[in-house]
C-alpha cells in the first residue's frame, strides 16, 4: 500500500479532532487535560502515519491510542507535578446531562478501566465489540467491567431506578 502523506494526515486530523476531543473530555472530565490527551495521541499518530498503510480502520486505531494515553496517564498519575497554584478556570457550559458535574464526579471515582468502559459504551455509544477492540480485551471483560462499573456508579449516585445491567446489556448489543 502507498505511504500516507502529511496532507492526508492533516485532512484526517481536521475531520476527527472534534470527536477525539469529546471522547477525551468524557474520559477525563477536564477540557485542558482532554486537549493534552488528544495532542499526545495526534503526536504519536504523526510519528506512525507513514506506516499506517496496512491498518484497515484508522479511526479505531486512533481511538485505541487515545484510550491508551488516558489509561497510561491514570497509571502514572500519582507522581505528576501540579503547576497551577490558583483556582482552575471554570468548566465549559455543560450541554448534555450525562456530561454534568455530578456524573463526572462519580465517574472519576471509578477505576480507570471501568471509567473507560462506561464512557465508551454509554457516552460515546460504542458497541461491546468495538470497546473490546479499543481496550484490547475480551468482550466478556467489557461486559463484566460494565456491570461492575454501573453497580458502583449507581451506588455513588444513589440511583436505584436504573434498569438492571442485564436489560441494558441486551438493549446495547
Could you read off the pLDDT of 24-62 as tens digits, one per residue?
999 988 899 999 999 999 999 999 988 887 788 889 999
The C-alpha torsion from 160 through 162 and 164 to 169, rounded to 10°, is: -150
* 112 is a domain residue: yes
| Structural domains counted in the chain | 2
DSSP code of 84?
Answer: -
77, 105: one domain: no
Tell me the residue range of the domain where 141 lies.
95-160
Give the three cell numbers for residue 134: 479499543
CATH code of residue 13 = 1.10.1740.10
Cell 460515546 found at? 124
4, 82: one domain: yes
61, 101: one domain: no
Could you read off the pLDDT of 69-85 as tens digits, one per residue?
998 888 876 566 666 66
CATH code of residue 152 = 1.10.10.10
Q: What percent of the chain has pLDDT above 90?
A: 46
DSSP code of 136?
Answer: T
38, 62: one domain: yes
SS3 state of residue 101: helix
pLDDT at 88 > cutoff 60: yes
pTM value > 0.95: no
Amino acid at each position: 500500500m502507498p505511504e500516507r502523506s502529511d496532507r492526508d494526515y492533516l485532512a484526517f486530523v481536521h475531520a476527527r479532532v472534534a470527536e477525539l476531543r469529546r471522547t477525551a473530555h468524557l474520559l477525563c472530565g477536564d477540557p485542558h487535560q482532554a486537549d493534552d490527551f488528544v495532542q499526545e495521541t495526534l503526536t504519536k499518530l504523526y510519528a506512525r502515519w507513514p506506516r499506517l498503510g496496512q491498518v484497515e480502520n484508522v479511526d479505531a486505531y486512533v481511538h485505541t491510542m487515545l484510550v491508551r494515553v488516558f489509561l497510561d496517564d491514570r497509571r502514572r498519575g500519582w507522581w505528576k507535578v501540579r503547576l497551577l497554584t490558583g483556582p482552575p478556570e471554570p468548566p465549559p457550559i455543560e450541554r448534555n446531562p450525562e456530561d454534568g458535574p455530578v456524573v463526572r464526579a462519580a465517574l472519576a471515582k471509578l477505576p480507570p478501566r471501568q471509567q473507560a468502559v462506561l464512557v465508551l459504551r454509554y457516552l460515546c455509544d460504542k458497541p461491546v465489540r468495538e470497546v473490546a477492540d479499543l481496550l484490547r480485551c475480551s468482550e466478556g471483560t467489557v461486559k463484566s467491567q460494565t456491570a461492575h462499573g454501573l453497580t458502583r456508579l449507581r451506588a455513588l449516585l444513589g440511583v436505584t431506578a436504573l434498569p438492571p445491567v442485564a436489560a441494558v446489556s441486551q438493549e446495547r448489543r
